Amino acid sequence: MPSRPLNYTTKIPVRQTVSECSELLADAGAARVAIVYEDKQPVGLSFRLEMPSGWQDFTLPVNVPAMAAVLSRMKFPPKTPEIALKRYRAPGHAAEVAWRVVKDWLEAQLAIIAAEMASLDQVMLPYLQLANGTLYEVVRDQHMALEGAR
């Protein structure tokens, strides 16, 4: 049976997890943290961190539709109660799971930084906000354009 996403059984509301993520970023030194919304739903965080080159803005996305797709494809043991299956596939549950995964990722990254195995700017570099998207998005799009030109 394929592995299931981390936290797929969570019952923790999105608002609580968003708050926890904001606190983690504040504790890491963020000068400001803002919630990014689409259709009145939180889909990410933007924040400002002091880097060696000065203050930089970052955007950390939370891909709820991707998590919803994963949850909809999940296979469960035959004895899984129907009520649990309905809850795991309920529309709001994907957001709860996606945000918990991001919170756990953020905690893990901050632990690596605390252990001096990486720096904050190194970990957050893909999420650096540029004029036309995050650094990762810009590099990805340029790479795809180069591949398409071949």
- Tell me the sheet residues that pair with 34: 46
Domain boundaries, the chain: 14-149
User: 70, 84, 57: which is closest to 3 by C-alpha?
Assistant: 70
Using CB atoms within 10 A of its CB, is residue 105 exposed (0-12), middle (13-18) or buried (19+)? middle
pLDDT in tens, the chain (150 residues): 457 889 999 999 999 999 999 999 999 999 999 999 999 999 999 999 998 889 999 999 999 999 999 999 988 878 888 888 888 988 899 999 999 999 999 999 999 999 999 998 899 999 999 999 999 999 999 988 877 776
pTM listed for this prediction: 0.89
Give the number of other Cβ atoms within 10 Å of residue 75's Cβ: 9
